[in-house]
Structure 1
Amino acid sequence: MENGVRYSDLIERLDMSRVTRFYWLLTILATIGGFLFGYDTSNIGSALPLLERIYPGISGFVEGYLVAGASLGAAVGAIIAAGLTDRYGRKYLLIADAAIYAAGALLSAFTVDLVMLLLSRTLIGIAVGADSGIATAYIAEYAPKARRGSLGILQQWMITIGILAAYLIGMATLFFAPGLAYAVGWRIMLGVAAIPAIIGLAFRFMMPESPRWLLVNGKYKEASASLKRLGLNMSEEDLKSVKLSQPHKITPGVKRALLIVGLFFVFQQITGINIPFYYGPVVLENLHIVGKSTSLVYSIYYSIAASAILAIINVAATYIGFRYIDSVGRRKLALMGYAGMTFFGILGGILLYLKLDIGLFIAFAGFIIFFAFGVGGTGWMIQGEYFPTSMRGLYASLGAFIDWIANFAIIELFPVMDSAITIKNVEFVFGVLSLIALILFYYIMPETKGLSVEQIDTLFENNSLGQMKHASISMKKESVPADPK
């Protein structure tokens, strides 16, 4: 090009790109960490009833750390990623995450004592936490704006598939080899995740680096190659003519974005969505919702099967969000989700007060449906698209850190809450917290469907929290995007 290329023209071409099979394959590779996160969420729930019998003297703290330790490690991983991803890029940190997860999964499979098992849980958490902060930022930086929602929500869908896979593997292990459940069954449940981690490790080497990150960091040759793989032919010389401003500073808009993302992640966790997956088999077994069995192993099997039904519901409902997030929008889906969670949280408490223990299963199912299509994927989506390119990795990782700390807190607190006020009152608490979230995000959450990530930067910079809801609705989708902050 004789006069070079304007950044706005380049971004417009990237945002208007046709989503090919390569985009979907790339997003699956980017979100394999989501699958591993989901698998880890529920595989410990399947293995925990066995571990309680293998280590009968296990303390409440150690048991809580077995379940929630990965979440604490994930918070550490997110902070580590926050300091590295904007400096070294997205691709190679995603590769490192997969390697660390594979090592942690293998360590858990061949553990010789509780200390080693706790260490492996922490190691897995570090990998999952780092990945959860980087993957969504990576996707937001290559996804065309018209399909950024569906590509971004694939992270949540992969999480749900991972949850289901863990339950199915747990069921298969106990069904086909019940006599080996205490010897090797739990090791298989924990260790099999190394397989997808190693596959992801191998194929992530083939991923292109984020084109937006490369441009902002002046890596024009690599940016040209990355864009070419995404279907855009731009020479290194053309890209060198692009003038970019790169102020790495905290602006009012960045603070507003972090506040909304942080609050969204906090409420996403403290409303209790992960309780059915971390503790589902134990809770359902204790309430005898799935019936009693003369065999302890088969009793555990049936409770895992009931949890697997919830996981299937989770996968199916997440598809609704995947299908409609780019047409209905992030805001509407989130508000619908919290409204449904409010209803089913309170309903679950009422049914348990009426001594209808099956009501907990019904409440879990309804709660999961509304979370899955409305809240789960939206959190990861806004985490990836709300921040400027030059600081997206840092602040997306900080958002992930907040998410994991809240996750750790609720997972550690649930056994205490269950013991102190019983599960029926815990359900009421989750319902009320969902109502608070519904009211809060009605007033402060903007709609960002159809906007480029650069337009979203402008939205947050130019409007207060109270103004953004209306400003996002009125913003013209065809306006020219600005240079990245």
Structure 2
Amino acid sequence: MSTNNLNPRGILQERSWCALDEGQKKRLEASAKLENPLAGLSPDELAQRGESFCKQHGLTDEEDIRAFRLGAMIAGNMNKYDTIDGLTDREREVLDKEITHKWSNPSMLYAVITICSLCAAVQGMDETVVNGAQIFYKDQFGIGDASSQRDSWLLGLVNAAPYIGCALIGCWLTEPLNNRFGRRGTVFISCVISAAACFWQAFTNTWWHMFIARFFLGFGIGPKSATTPMLAAECSPPKLRGALVMQWQMWTAFGILVGYVADLAFFEVPDRGIDGLNWRLMMGSALIPAVIVVAFVFFTPESPRWYLTKDRHQDAYKSIVRLRYEKVQAARDLFYMDALLQVEKEAMQIQQNKFKEIFAIRRNRNAAIASEIVMFMQQFCGVNAIAYYSTQIFIDSNFSIKSALAASLGFGAVNFLFAIPAFYTIDTFGRRKLLLTTFPLMSLFLFYTGFSFYIPAGTARVANVALGIYLFGVVYSPGEGPVPFTYSAEAYPLYIRPFGMSLATATTWLFNAVISITWPALVQAWTNAGAFSWYAAWNIVGWFLVLFFLPETKEKTLEELDAVFDVPLHSIMRYGVMQAGYFWGHVILRRNMDPPTVPTSANTIEYTKEQFTKEKHHDPTARV
């Protein structure tokens, strides 16, 4: 066999290639195939493969066979369907709209996203009903002395219990549950656990009993938080994937808002013979959205990609047909998914275990680094110190208890309302640019909030603390709010995605637990000013981490991301330095400069709306 065949991308000189061992050569070959598993096939060969796919998997209907013949030809031609004969006017119209009207999709796709959004609302309520409830149960449980180090640590421990359960056990249940029950089944089971745990919390009478109930809640939060973004990502078309997957964060923000509403709604409920009836109703109310998900999740289709991993191709086709307007679209997407999965199965055999698979293969390692950064920074940007302790923070700045609950509700409203623009920005400006823009602003507003505590007690301090927190919420919500779960759900290749999401969510919940445990003690040791400044400084660190280690993923198919991540890490870092230089020179100093070239492992074609419009009008400058 020739060196060129062994070294398909031509990325190594012959001497360098010969110096590689067989395992390294196999990894390079698999990586090259992952970039485009249909590269080099003629239209006739693609059509034949489409037919063979149908025969192999028992799809005998003539309409389905036609769809796979045409779908395979489109998939192998970079989706440039204008050169494909045999498409109906309706099919061409729908394929046009994928690019020109990306929000035009079947209602069933949006039903899947609705279920995912309700899961997120479960998450948000689980996180914030405790914000108001702890004001009451900490005294009832004997852990309410603000001057006691023991009580500060125990209060933090109880609040952190679900996230400890997530990081240690819950997140690692994701892969076995997904493997056995699928994406929908995992969502169902995790919401049952969440509902049961919320009910349980309402009947606790000691801090350690509350800790156990909340620790058990983590078994529901972990698999749900990892699986729901995967389900949304695997069902969504690439041009809209970011906007649909970010629904997780947007509706988590809505759940946070509803949690604050519940805190305020039950604030004045009298005990009526039950000690702490008000906080018990707060804690129990979070089960409502979980019960709704349990009732409706199986009315939506399963992820077609999950069916493919189980060799259930007919079920996968039935599922994706419900998620696309035309069978040609469904056949195209399923054929390409399957082609990639076959190549990934080859790559999967190169390594022994999935943990080693993540860190031994460059493509996976770069994805893991980027995912871990955004997941870590989602916590250490400081947002959940506010989400979990805002009522106490506002009380410390001289609010009354009821006013503090109302102010927390205001933060929830800001967090939700300013997540809405991310519908547009996440797929227009991209994940990287959003983070590079918002991290400095988050740092600025946390410093502002912290320094506001130096203002003498009174109206001025109250107003400035509230303003700083609200402005932080304004810039967090379209940036570090929606990006981490969206980015992590799309970064990993399919065969290792559940394990990668387990690692990503375990990271975010571990550091969530760290913040929950340490915030009361941090405030006690450093005061509110020092605690806020600590997280303000971490936002500056986060900006540099994103600049140097985070490739852009917007509008790429889940398959095209292999080429984005499979580059040397030093190339990604060098691009960050060059991008910072371009911003300073072109934007600040107004010099005429060309932007740096984004590093990829191959010369890939990005088929944008502008490129599509040029080709539709036969622009001679359009790239072919």
Distance change in 2, residues 1:127/1:365 (3 Å):
same
Paired position in structure 2 for 1:9: 75
| Inter-partner Cα distance in structure 2 for 1:207 and 1:366 | 38
CA pair 388-240 structure 1, distance change in 2 beyond 3 A: closer
Q: Identify the match of residue 178 of structure 2 among 85, 94, 117.
A: 85
Change (3 A) 1:476 1:465: farther
The answer as to whether partners of 2:435 and 2:479 remain within 8 angstroms in 1 is yes
Equivalence for 2:18: none
Of the two, which has the highest radius of gyration? 2
- Greater RCO (Cα-Cα under 8 Å, separation 6 or more): 1
Equivalent in 315, 319, 326 of residue 420 of structure 2: 319
For 2:175 and 2:476, locate their aligned partners in 1 and report how far apart those are by CA, in whole Å: 27
Percent identical among aligned pairs is 23
Which of residues 528, 548, 552 in structure 2 aligns to 1:447? Answer: 552
**Aligned equivalent of 2:468, options 351, 363, 367:** 363
In the other structure, the counterpart of 2:292 is 199
Pick the aligned partner of 2:606 from 472, 477, 480.
Answer: 477
**What SS does structure 2 have at the residue aligned with 1:478?**
coil
Is 2:229 the counterpart of 1:229? no
Post-superposition offset of 1:156: 0.4
Describe the shift of the 1:235–1:379 C-alpha distance in structure 2 as closer, same or farther (beyond 3 A).
Answer: closer
Cα gap change, 1:44/1:456 in structure 2, threshold over 3 Å: closer, same or farther? same
Partners of 1:99 and 1:197 within 8 A in 2: yes
Distance 1:66 1:95 in 2: 26
AA in 2 matched with 1:265: M
Tell me which of 164, 181, 198 is aligned to 1:105.
198
Output aligned runs, 1:220-259, within 5 Å.
Answer: 220-231=313-324, 232-233=326-327, 243=339, 244-245=342-343, 246=345, 247-248=347-348, 249=351, 250=357, 251-259=361-369
> 2:500 pairs with 395, 405, 410, which one?
395
Amino acid in the other structure paired with 1:477: E
Asked if structure 2 preserves the Cα contact closer than 8 Å seen for 1:224 and 1:239, the reply is: no
Q: Distance in 2 between the 1:112 and 1:124 partners?
A: 17
The answer to whether structure 1 residue 150 and structure 2 residue 243 are counterparts is yes
1:54 deviates by 1.4
After TM superposition, the structure 1 = structure 2 runs for residues 322-471 of structure 1, keeping only pairs within 5 Å, are 322-355=423-456, 357-358=461-462, 359-464=464-569, 466-467=571-572, 469=575, 470-471=597-598
Structure 1 pair 466/362, CA: closer, same or farther in 2 (3 Å)? farther
2:396 maps to a residue whose letter is N
Give the Cα–Cα distance (whole angstroms) in 2 for the partners of residues 8 and 412 of structure 1: 53
Where does residue 295 of structure 1 map in the other structure? none
Provide the rounded CA distance (Å) in 2 between the counterparts of 1:198 and 1:336: 38
Q: Deviations over 1:251-292 (max 9, x none)?
A: 21111111111111112211211111101111211321x2xx
Q: Distance in 2 between matches of 1:8 and 1:471?
A: 26
Rate the CA distance shift 1:171–1:30 in 2: closer, same or farther, 3 A: same
Query: How much has 1:112 moved relative to structure 2?
Result: 4.5
> Comparing 208-217 with 259-268, which one deviates more in the overlay?
208-217
Matched residues in 2 for 1:226 and 1:472: separation?
35
Instruction: Return the letter of the residue paired with 1:124.
Output: L
Query: Aligned partners of 1:412 and 1:255: how far apart in 2?
Result: 30
Distance in 2 of aligned mates of 1:369 and 1:348: 14
Q: Which residue number in structure 2 is paired with residue 284 of structure 1?
A: 394
Q: Which runs of 5 or more residues in structure 2 are unaligned? A: 1-46, 51-67, 80-94, 145-150, 352-356, 576-596, 609-624
Q: Deviations over 1:126-182 (max 9, x none)?
A: 21111111111111111111111110110001111111101111111124x245595
- Residue 7 of structure 1 and its aligned partner are, at CA, apart by 9.5
C-alpha distance in structure 2 between counterparts of 1:123 and 1:315, whole Å:
27
Q: Give how far 1:115 is off.
A: 3.6
| Partner residue of 1:21 out of 99, 107, 111 | 107
Whole-Å separation in 1 of the counterparts to 2:139 and 2:548:
49
Check 1:87–1:254 CA distance in 2 against 1; reply closer, same or farther (3 A cut): farther
CA contact (8 A) 1:7 1:242 kept: no
The two structures have a TM-score, normalised by structure 2, of 0.70
Alpha-carbon distance in structure 1 between the residues aligned to 2:469 and 2:478: 14
Shift of 1:30: 1.9
Contact 1:139 1:151 in 2 (8 A): yes
Q: Give the alignment's TM-score, normalised by structure 1.
A: 0.89
Q: Secondary structure at the match of 2:478?
A: helix
Q: Distance in 2 between matches of 1:240 and 1:69?
A: 42
1:42-53 to 2 correspondence within 5 Å? 42-53=128-139
Question: In 1, distance between residues paired with 2:220 and 2:604?
Answer: 38
Q: How many Å separate the matches in 2 of 1:73 and 1:38?
A: 17
